Each structure stands twice: as C-alpha cells, then as structure tokens.
Structure 1
Amino acid sequence: MTAPAHALRMGTTAGRGTLLAAILASGMVFLDSTVVNVALPRLGAELGATVAGLQWTINGYLLMLAAFVLLGGALGDRFGRRRILLLGVVWFAVASVLCGLAQDTGQLVAARFLQGAGGALLTPGSLSVLQASFHPDDRGKAIGAWSGLAGVSTALGPLLGGWLIDALSWRWIFFINLPLAVAVVLAALRWAPESRDENASRTGAGRRRFDVTGALLGALALGGITYALIDAPARGVRSLPVLLSVLVGLVAAVAFVVVERRRGETAMLPTGLFASRLFSVLNVFTVVVYAALGGFTFFLAVYLQNVVGWSALRTGLATVPMTVLLLLGSARAGALSAKIGPRWPLTVGPVIAAAGLLLLREVRPGASYWTGVLPGVALFGLGLTLVVAPLTASVLAAVADRFAGVASGFNNAASRAGGLLAVAALPLLVGLSGTGYEQRGALTDAYRGALLWCAGGLLAGAVMAALLVHRPPREAPPSQPCHSLPAATPPAAARREGRG
C-alpha cells in the first residue's frame, strides 16, 4: 500500500496528537459500553423504570449502532474520515448530555437512540483515521497502540463509572463524555489530516451510492423484533401491537435481503459474501456468543446490586478480569488459531465460558468476590479470550481481501445484534417484567434462568463450531479482536477497503 500524502509518523507531534484523538474518541464508546449496565439499578430506581425501560436503555443504543455502523464508515470514506469522526464525537457528546439530563425513562431512551446514532459515525471513524493517516511503516504500530490503550480504557471504565455512580450520580457516566469530546475535537482539528476514498467520492456512472435504504430496512427489522420481545410480557404474546411489530420486523428483513441482492456489490451488505459457508457460519456463531455475553452482563450488574447488595463500584470491578484476560491473551489466542486452525479455539472457548456462567448461577447474598464471583468471571473471560481473536481472523480470511472492511463491519454489527436480541428476549423467557428487578425473589429466579439460557447458547455455539468451522482457504494474520467488552468495535477494519 502506498503512503498517503503527508503521511504521519509515530513519534512526531502530529502523529501523537492524531493517535490521542482516535484513542479518546473510541474510549468514549468503550466507557459507555462498560458502565451503563452497572448504572441500571440506580437509574431504574430514580426514574421509576420498568424492566422494559431498562431493556430499551441498552437496546436503543445497540439498535442504532448495529444498523448504521456500516453506513457511518461509508460516510467517512465519501465526505472525509476526520469530518465524520468529529461529527460523530459532537453528536455523541450532545446525546450523552441529554442522557444525563433525562427526567424520565422515555427521555433517557430517546437520548440513547441519538447516542447510538452518534456512535455509528464515531466507531468506524476512530480507526479509519489512523489507517488513512499514518505511513505504512508506522501504521501497525499506531493501530497496535490504539488497540492497547483503548483496551485499557475499557478496563478502567468500570472503576471510573462505578465510582461516579456511588460518589455522585448515574448521570455522571454520561456527563464525563463532554470533556473527552472537547479533547478529541481540539486534538483532531489541530493534528489529524483529512482523508477520503477517492473511489467513494467520484462522480459519473461509476459513482458509489449510499445504501441508506438497506440501513433503514435493517434497523426496522431489528427494531420490530426487539419491540415485540420487550413489549410481549406486558401486553401478551398475542396482542395486536406485538403481532404487528413481529410482522413489520419480518417484512423488513425480507425486503432487506431483496434490496441487498439487487444492489450487488454496491449494497451495504453484498449478499455474495454469504456464498462462503464459513463466513455465514461464523456470523451466526458471533450472534450466539455475543447474545450470551450481552444477556449475562445485563443480568449480572442488576443482580449483584439488587440481590447480593454490592455497590456500583464493586459491581463494575467484578467483570474487570474478563477485560484483562482479553487484553493479555487475545494475541496468543490468535497465534494459536493461525497454527492449529480456528475449530478447536471456537469449540473449547464457549464450553469454558459456559462453565463460568454455571458457576455464577450459584452466587448468593453475602458471597465473597474471591471465592464466589471471581472463579466464574475468570472462566468466562478465559473462554471469551479463546474465541474473539480467532473469530475475527477467520471472518476476514473467509472472504476476498477487497471485502475485508465490509466483512469486519458486518461481523461487528452481528455481535451487537446478538446482544440486542438477548437483552430483549431473556426477560421474556425467564418471566421478568414490570418492577420485578427490584424484588429479590423474582430477580434471583430470573437471573439463574437467564444464565442457564446463556450457557445453553454457548454450548450450542460450541457444537456449531465443532461441526461446521474449518480452516479458512487462506490465512489472515492474527488480528486484534474486533469486539470489546461488552460491546463491539472494529480494529480488524484496519484491512478495510473503503467501507465501514
């Protein structure tokens, strides 16, 4: 790959400033992903939220991010990566302030939808700016530094967020994004060069079109199914609004497939990618694994505070070992997968993670962290570490190089969709509704049932990997994970070709 004009070098002031902007930008998203679950019991009590309100607090954000992250990357390629990154940062910061100022659940959920839309612009932009700005000789170092320091921000998120919740209010987990956004804007304007994909911005017959229709249909499909799952406990499975939302979701899903097939390679999601059976299997596997992760983190945060009686800070710190294991072990897991193939890591990892969840089902009031919580969390984190990097590398290796960016972006969206559907479906499956999350007995039964469902999903994923996953036809280099705890981000898009 040729060096861009005025390519940045590591060690220069401009290089350090651009790297700082990218790290702080992604850090905003990572921080929210690790602390909002921890804040659910406090904000639920203050705003008088039902279980459905808590679900939408998580899912409003995930829905927008999953549906529009690919479009956000394409906008950056067309109109300028720095410009769209800055737009995303400002949008995310304004929405975060609205979240912090919310006076009822409806206002908070609306602000979370807006925040997710900002995140869809911001998430692909932070990495694509580095990819496009640095000299090829320094690009790997810059992306490695971004990945490592962004991972540190993920690990520190529960510590900072839990402290803010206990010392001040849950509102401050959103307000903290404002100074971070100011720092990103100043650093990016001062040091980050602008770049765009000239092929994406060309005019004439070869001009690439934005697949806005595909993005909207994808959002409508996910939104219809999600609404039905969340609303069913209160209205009843056979109620007209629930049945209509299911119908809307299914029709939108079918229309999405039809539209994407007709648009071919100009589509947001070229359906030709699914000619690779391995690519298809790996993305179904992604949905299953990240559904378990999303459901587990949703229930654990509420259970530890409302049943076990822990503070927000202690609850936030409970899952830090998962992030630490990912940071320390992902590169080794990627190297192992490159040596022996992905089948065994993707089979053994979910089994270990499921064992961790079964241990965590037995956590009771008064439990010690060291003997009651840490063993299960560590096992879950170890299992996830075996999965994430091999999964990313295999997804990229399953398709042609020119589709690496869109493959990484779709896998990113699949992971978010998995968490979205789990948070929507699990309360229905375990019979938790209304204000049941504030009642110890009801929440205990729901928590144990939810973790059993999550463990079952992981074991199903292990069976799928054992039977259907094989070594890709070509090798991809061991990559940084394209997912973070507990939400996704696309470092693997370092290999992108003009798409988010």
Structure 2
Amino acid sequence: MSVRGGSVLTFLIAGVAAFMAALDTLVVTTALPTLREDLGASLESLEWTVNVYTLVYAVCLLAAAVVGDRFGRRRVFIIGVVLFTAASAAAGLAGSIGVLLAARTVQGVGASVIIPLALTLVVTAVPAERRGAAIAGFGGMIGLGIALGPWIGGAVIRYGDWQGIFWINVPLGILLLPAAARFLGESRGPYNRLDVRGTLLIMAGLFGLVFGLIRSTTLGWTDPQVFSPIVAGMVVLAGFALWERRAPNPVIPPHLVRSRGFALSNLVALLVQGGMLGAVFLLTQFLQNVLRYSPLDAGVRTLPWTMMPVLVAPLTGVFGERLGVRRLMVASTVLQGAALAWFALVISPAVSYSLLLPGMVVAGVGMGLFFALAARQTLDFVSKAEQGVASGVNNAMRQIGIVIGVAVLSGVFATAGGYGSAEAFVSGLHPALWAGTAILATAAFAALLVPARPAPAGPAAATVSLSTAAADH
C-alpha cells in the first residue's frame, strides 16, 4: 500500500470513529422525554444520561492519550472502539435507567480513548505537506458529530424507538474494528513508563472540577455539592502540578505548559467551546420551548448552522497556509461572538426564523473555522512525539469548556429568567447570550496573543526522533 493510500484510509477510519464518539455527546438530548416515559426515570436521572458521558469523557481524555503513547496508539484506539461499540449495544438493550447510566459511563470511557488517539494517528500517518488539511478535515468531523447529534436523535425518535440512537453506533463499530487492525500504523510517545501517580491525580482533580460544574446547573453555585467538589478538584490539580515538576515521566511535559503558544491555544479552545456551546444549549431549547418546534423540526432549522462547518472545514487547509492559522482563529472567535450578539439583539418570543438565519450562518462559518483549526494550532507548538499528549490536553480543555459554558450561561439564564413562560425564557436568554458574547470576545483577545509562528519544538523532539520514526514504520 502506498503512503498516500495508507494516510487516506487512516483518515477515514479515525474520522468515522471520532464522528461516532462526538455524535453521542448530544444525540441523547432529544430522547429525554421518551426515556422518562419508557423507563420511569426521574428528571435528575435523565440529566445524568447526558452528563455522565460528558463527565467520564472529560476526566479520562488526557489519561487515555497518555496510555496510548505508552502502550501503542493503534492498540489502545482499538480497545476504545470495542468499549464504545459494546457500551452502545448495552445502552440499546437497557431496560432500566441504572443500566443505561452504566452503559453511558462506559461509552464515555471509549470516547475519551477514540478522539485524542484518532487525531494523533491521523497526524502520524499524513505527510507533512497535507497535515494541515487532514487536521482541518478531522476537526470538521468532530464538529459535525456534535452539531448533528440533536438532529439525528430527533429523526430517530420520530421514526423509530429511542434505542435506535445507540444501535446506530454498533454496525459502525463492527466495521471499524477489522479496518483499524488491518490498516492503521502503530506508534508510541516519547516515554516508556507510565506516570501512574500523575495520571491518577489529574483524573481525580478533573473529576471533582467537572462533577461540581455539572451539578451547578441544577443546584446553584452555593450548594455544598457544587463548591466542595470544585474546591477539592482544584486542590488535587494543584498537587498534580507540583508532582509533575519532579516526575521522571510527566503526564504533561512541563515545557509544554511554559510554551505561550501551547497555553494560549488551549485557553482559546476552552473559551470558544464554553461561550458558543453554552449558548447552543439554551438556543436549542428556545426553538422548542418558545417557538414550539418539534425536536426534528428544530434540528432541520438549525441545519444552516450545523452544516456550515462541512463547507468551511475543507477550505481551511488551504487558507490556513496562505493567511495563517492565527488570523483564521481570530476570525473564528469574532464571527461566533458577532453571531451571539445578533441573537441577543433580535430574539423575542415572536421572532421570525428569517431573523435568526443570518446569525446561524455566521456562527456556522465561525464554528467551522474553529473545529478545523483548533487542534492544528495546538499541535503546531509541540514536537511530533508529543502530539498524543497535546491532543489529549486540547480535547480535555475543550470538553471542560463545554461544561463551564453550560454551567455559567445556565446560571445567568436562571438568575434573570426561567422556564415558566416564553417571556420568562427570553428574559433569561438575553443576558446569557451577552455573557457568551463576552466570553468569545475574551477568546478573540487571547487568540491575538498566540504567536504567529510556532516556537521551536520541545526537547523531546531531538531525543525521540529516531525511536518515533521506527515506531511509525
């Protein structure tokens, strides 16, 4: 098989797997009313069918990338696909909310393995001259999966049973497994030992932080079940940072954290994911609760928004080289912030769809640029051997950004409005959208500070170049 043919197959296998995992982030949201009737679940249990996936996914992302670097990215990626596929089947067979929650937990573990390792496998397989386009396309696949989740879920619920939203993963997973075993190349990261203490510390710290943020949407920030795990998580993460300074095989190499380009790129990713997807969380409810669209109808009307990344992502590989990734990332944040500001200005209980459409298109273009370029910008500041860890950090920051964004914007919404009436919902939505606009304006400022050109690669680049090349072949 030629190098080019192998890289195309790697992209297809990794891209489909990442799309599948990203899809399940939000696909279950439109099935919640049906789940409540069929399984007799409480409102809090229903919320956890969404949140437990997000929680486990965010907590395990970085650890999965580290394990892949140590024991072989292809091998661990295949294990992730097995876990995700088996858990999807278990969710489709679930007869109680407890079984469904357990299956969603395992799904989250599988997704946390698939997404960072899939990106690293693509970057490793693709020749340097096509790497930008490959990363852009891969980011577009993830963005498309997240964006189409509610729409696909709505379509499955309308024309079938809720179990179908999980069964659609099973044939994909079964097809991916032999293809991954046959066509993916094996590679490893720069260290040959796993930092068990550091891995456990960062998982525990992220668990406390993300768990508290998820609970804040229903309990408020002052509840002990919210601030206690957040504080505990921050303390454990501080302990992780201290340990990493003297760890012989650190989970996150300290020179990466000191890199201005790497740190700011991840900050931008966190802010954009938080500001935009926190707003999406509320806007999708606005279409259903205020404008009275069905889940499927609401999904259809968001297609001008969700499909724009499909059109934009393929172009970013070319324009990223000509205009520079930093310029396009700044444009991405500005476009998304402008879209939220537009929504805040025009939304009312009787707003017409035609007034929402321009904001959807602009937001979709901005999201397309972001999904395609966020990972590429981060990887520009690391050596090839460190791309697995860098991918895990970037994905973890983006996932935590979603949790923070939903928590913060939902808190603003609840303070100024509520679900009692269309007017109350809009009263809360307005300040929440302005808060999202402010977050994206901050992201734009941070994007401006990212170095235009990558700094020299970290020290691991020289020491592992030969071993990495050998692993790649």
Alignment TM-score, normalising by the size of structure 1 = 0.76
The answer for the alignment partner of 2:116 in structure 1 is 124
What is the distance in 2 between the residues matched to 1:103 and 1:432? 37
What do you get for the CA RMSD once the two structures are aligned?
4.0
Question: Contact 2:272/2:440 (CA < 8 Å) preserved in 1?
Answer: yes
Query: Within the alignment, does 1:228 sit opposite 2:212 as a pair?
Result: yes
- Deviation string, structure 1 residues 96-150 (Cα, Å, up to 9, x no partner): 2344455666654443332111112222344555566x68599869958974994
Query: Within the alignment, does 1:59 sit opposite 2:51 as a pair?
Result: yes
Aligned positions of 1:273-312 closer than 5 A? 273-312=256-295
Aligned positions of 1:179-218 closer than 5 A? 179-189=171-181, 191-192=182-183, 195-197=186-188, 208-218=192-202
Cα–Cα, structure 1 residues 376 and 57, in superposed 2: closer, same or farther, change >3 Å? farther
Q: Secondary structure at the match of 1:310?
A: coil
The answer for the alignment partner of 1:457 in structure 2 is 439
Match for 2:412: what amino acid?
A: L
- Deviation string, structure 1 residues 201-255 (Cα, Å, up to 9, x no partner): xxxxxx6222343333333323323333443566564444334323311211211
Match for 2:205: what amino acid?
A: A
Question: Contact 1:403/1:496 (CA < 8 Å) preserved in 2?
Answer: no
Aligned positions of 1:75-94 closer than 5 A? 75-94=67-86
The answer for the alignment partner of 2:313 in structure 1 is 330
Cα–Cα, structure 1 residues 405 and 413, in superposed 2: closer, same or farther, change >3 Å? same
Aligned positions of 1:25-174 closer than 5 A? 25-33=17-25, 35-40=27-32, 42-43=34-35, 49-50=42-43, 56-102=48-94, 108-129=100-121, 143=134, 147=138, 150=141, 154=145, 159-174=151-166
Question: Contact 1:394/1:472 (CA < 8 Å) preserved in 2?
Answer: no
Q: Secondary structure at the match of 1:97?
A: helix
What is the distance in 2 between the residues matched to 1:332 and 1:166? 34
Match for 2:163: what amino acid?
A: R
Question: Which of 168-177 and 104-113 deviates more?
Answer: 104-113
What is the distance in 2 between the residues matched to 1:417 and 1:231? 14
2:452 pairs with one of 444, 451, 471:
471
Cα–Cα, structure 1 residues 423 and 323, in superposed 2: closer, same or farther, change >3 Å? same
What is the distance in 2 between the residues matched to 1:145 and 1:279? 18
Question: Contact 2:56/2:108 (CA < 8 Å) preserved in 1?
Answer: yes
The answer for the alignment partner of 2:236 in structure 1 is 252
What is the distance in 2 between the residues matched to 1:270 and 1:105? 41
Query: Within the alignment, does 1:318 sit opposite 2:309 as a pair?
Result: no
What is the distance in 1 between the residues matched to 2:203 and 2:319? 37
Cα–Cα, structure 1 residues 360 and 35, in superposed 2: closer, same or farther, change >3 Å? farther
The answer for the alignment partner of 1:429 in structure 2 is 412
Cα–Cα, structure 1 residues 54 and 462, in superposed 2: closer, same or farther, change >3 Å? farther
C-alpha displacement of 1:284: 1.4
What is the distance in 2 between the residues matched to 1:84 and 1:93? 14
Question: Contact 2:337/2:437 (CA < 8 Å) preserved in 1?
Answer: yes
Number of corresponding residues: 458
2:403 pairs with one of 414, 420, 436:
420
C-alpha displacement of 1:314: 2.3
Q: Secondary structure at the match of 1:209?
A: coil
C-alpha displacement of 1:457: 0.7
The answer for the alignment partner of 2:464 in structure 1 is none
What is the distance in 2 between the residues matched to 1:384 and 1:149? 9
Question: Contact 1:59/1:423 (CA < 8 Å) preserved in 2?
Answer: no
Question: Contact 1:342/1:469 (CA < 8 Å) preserved in 2?
Answer: no
2:333 pairs with one of 330, 336, 350:
350
Question: Contact 1:341/1:470 (CA < 8 Å) preserved in 2?
Answer: no
Cα–Cα, structure 1 residues 319 and 352, in superposed 2: closer, same or farther, change >3 Å? same
